[in-house]
Chain A
Amino acid sequence: MRKKLALLGLVGILVLGIMFGGVALAAEYQFTFLTHAGEENSFWAAVYRGAQDAADQLGVDFVMIRVKEEGDLAAQLTNFKTTLAQKPDGIITTIPDPVMFDEVIQEAIDMGIPVICSNTDDPEGAEGNARLSYIGQDLEQAGYFLAKELTKDVPEGEKYHFVVSVGGPGLVWAEQRAKGITTYLEEAGHTYERLDTTMKMDVAQSRIQAYLQSHPETKGVITVEYNHASAAKAAKNLGYEPGELLIGGFDLIPEVLAEIKSGYINLTIDQQPYLQGYLPVIQLCLMKEYALSAWDVNTGNAVVDASNVDRVLELSQKRVR
């Protein structure tokens, strides 16, 4: 019996080895995507879908490595170093800290491994980091744009109070968007308060609900992430009518689209995550295959509101938008 078990174990190990090893040999290029996003972050499903689609089309061996806890940069850095030890043909990464990733990315470039930045860039861009290109949103400008779009129908001369939900306080992407939002609000003379809502939608909902209850003068919720879906649910629970609060934020996840349909969310800014996964893989492949250089792409300020939500909803079910 014991011998059988031992034999079974050995065979299992061998099969696993051949499986993983075999896959690695069959593919021409190995690309690794490293992100600061936690495994429960639903936004990243579209990035992954984009990258995986590109990898499938081009016959590339692709893997995305996330961290266990949202925004655990120490873990992302360790994953980066481990990836370097594994020497892939190309690396795609987010750069959620202005300095922490400078050294390892330089090291990768020096080793001849191209590094492309996706989704979140060094605040100083190419000046601050050796990455070859950035494919994503101009975060601060997008925050500014969101606040401006959302408040464009506020009657002349009226000043509103907003709550600005910051789900990842201290993280570059969140703070840059928040900066853009608050810059516009200050310019326009509106008042605001920042609220740490976490990236967990249930927690965000209860915090926003509590804020709205204790600050009934609040006229709107602006979120640097997808917590405007939580804000919509909070507004519903508190008996607000659709449109009574101005609610806007970032990204398309099913909950956000549903609340645009219900009329509680005015608009959401789509940074087109599918492209943030798809394009870097294409770029790396072209760079490897034809020695082309890397190039930046602004994946956009796509506005989704009641006018185009149906079409987007359709595509969202395919996890493309």
Chain B
Amino acid sequence: MAQGLVNVLKKIILLREISSLIMLLVVVLVFFAISPLFLSQENVAIILEIIPELGIVALGVTMLMISGEFDLSVGSVFAFCPIMMTMFVTWGFPPLLSVIIALLMTMLLGALNGFITLTFGIPSFITTLGAMLIWRGAVLLITGGWPPPFPAEMSTGILVGRLGILRASIFWYGAITVLLWFVLERTDFGNWIFATGGNQPSARAMGIDTHRVKFTNFMLCSLLAGFAGLIQSFRLATTLPSMGTGLEMDAIAATVIGGTALSGGVGTVIGTVIGAFLIRVIDNGLVIIRAPSYWFRVFIGIAIILAVILNSFVRERAKKLRC
């Protein structure tokens, strides 16, 4: 009996997401203790409404980071996709076709990141830093600074329709999370991603086409960023050239808090989901408790450092327990 309990506890401690989960729980409890309104139905609805946008972007960043690469351009792509969608509708394309073309274009942007990074062997940090500036600039050029009007004929229900206090976007987020979890943990491709990010030469020696793995993840990351941008623009019924500014930092923070290693080869999808929740919960909670918003950066900064320390601590402990 006691042995069984110890085993369960061991399993919980061995969970890779445990440190970020504990942090999330502590933060939620603190905010709730300060203001019970934090867990009111209205406020929970607000958090669930905004979480998919950061969350989906962070999932793409996680997949790419596990395979050993970076994407700083996700914030710009986040704006690029809905703006292109709107422009296509303005040019007379049917709404659904416009959405599809815009998404294909964002995939192409990811492919371009991958192509340049892998062909010229330059760090993806540099490639995507450039891409971040280029696509943000492109968005401003295309719109001339003025947001194009959101197409009235676009039906937004499929992405952001309301079901009680929830929006459809949270189900998309859930579905994408499950899908990526399955790919990463249960398929050969998932193993290749870990191998590519963990040790590229030996992955290649095992016969894995590491370039293709990375290239696919570049496209996936970009596609998810564009898709999340569509969700935000559908939710607000507007397309702003400034959408998603700074989002790349939040997405990387969510990924790192969730236990993904900056160097690649280690990471989980569920951890990133928790990381994204942590960031948005801190964001929201500070407003609810009427704290000056300057605190946000401070708290996220602490959370990132604490999470990485806790993660390495848990990993050490896990090694000892396994022995």
Contacts and interface: CB of A to CB of B under 8 A. Distances in A.
Interface string A46-60: 000000000000000
Interface in B243-286: 243, 245-246, 283-284
A193 interface: no
B37 A85 contact: yes
A185 interface: no
A302 interface: no
B25 to A, nearest CB: 12
A69 B147 contact: no
Interface in B281-319: 283-284, 287-294, 296-297
A163 to B, nearest CB: 15
Given A73-B240, A169-B145, A170-B143, A17 B46 contact: no
Nearest to A32: B290
B299 to A, nearest CB: 12
B71 to A, nearest CB: 18
Interface in B41-82: 42-43, 46, 49-50
Contacts of B35: 20-21, 24, 86
Interface in A155-203: 166, 169-171, 175, 196
Contacts of A20: 34-35, 289-291
Interface in A244-284: none
A169 B288 CA distance: 31
B40 interface: yes
A166 B145 contact: yes
B34 A17 contact: yes
B241 A14 contact: no
A6 B292 CA distance: 27
B287 A82 contact: yes
Interface string A200-235: 000000000000000000000000000000000000
B116 interface: no
Contacts of A64: 292-293
A86 B287 contact: yes
B112 interface: no
B236 A74 contact: yes
Interface residues of B, number: 40
Nearest to B287: A82
Contact of B140 (A71, A75, A196): A196
Given A63-B290, A77-B236, A169 B140 contact: yes
Contacts, number: 109
A65 interface: yes
B232 interface: yes
Contact of A85 (B40, B143, B243, B246): B40
A288 interface: no
A30 interface: yes
Contact of B30 (A13, A24, A71): A13
Given A21-B34, A86-B35, A68 B296 contact: yes
A74 B42 CA distance: 18
Contacts of A13: 29-30, 33
Nearest to A12: B30
Given A21-B35, A86-B35, A86-B37, A65 B288 contact: no
Contact of A170 (B34, B241, B284): B241
Range of interface residues on chain A? 35 or more
Contact of B294 (A39, A99, A171): A39
Nearest to A20: B34
B243 A39 contact: no
A170 B145 contact: yes
Nearest to B33: A17
A149 interface: no
A28 B219 CA distance: 54
A68 B241 contact: no
Nearest to B150: A99
Contacts of A65: 287, 292-293
A170 B140 CA distance: 8
A151 interface: no
A79 B291 CA distance: 12
B286 to A, nearest CB: 8
B100 to A, nearest CB: 24
B290 A61 contact: yes
Contacts of A292: none
Contact of A74 (B33, B243, B287, B294): B243
A294 B236 CA distance: 29
Interface of B: 29-30, 33-35, 37, 40, 42-43, 46, 49-50, 140, 143-147, 232, 236-238, 240-243, 245-246, 283-284, 287-294, 296-297
Given A39-B297, A169-B145, A170-B143, 16 more contacts: A14-B33, A16-B30, A17-B34, A21-B34, A30-B290, A63-B292, A64-B293, A73-B236, A73-B240, A74-B243, A78-B49, A82-B287, A85-B42, A86-B290, A99-B238, A169-B241
Chain A to chain B: the 5 pairs with minimum beta-carbon distance, closest first: A169-B145, A85-B42, A85-B43, A170-B145, A69-B246
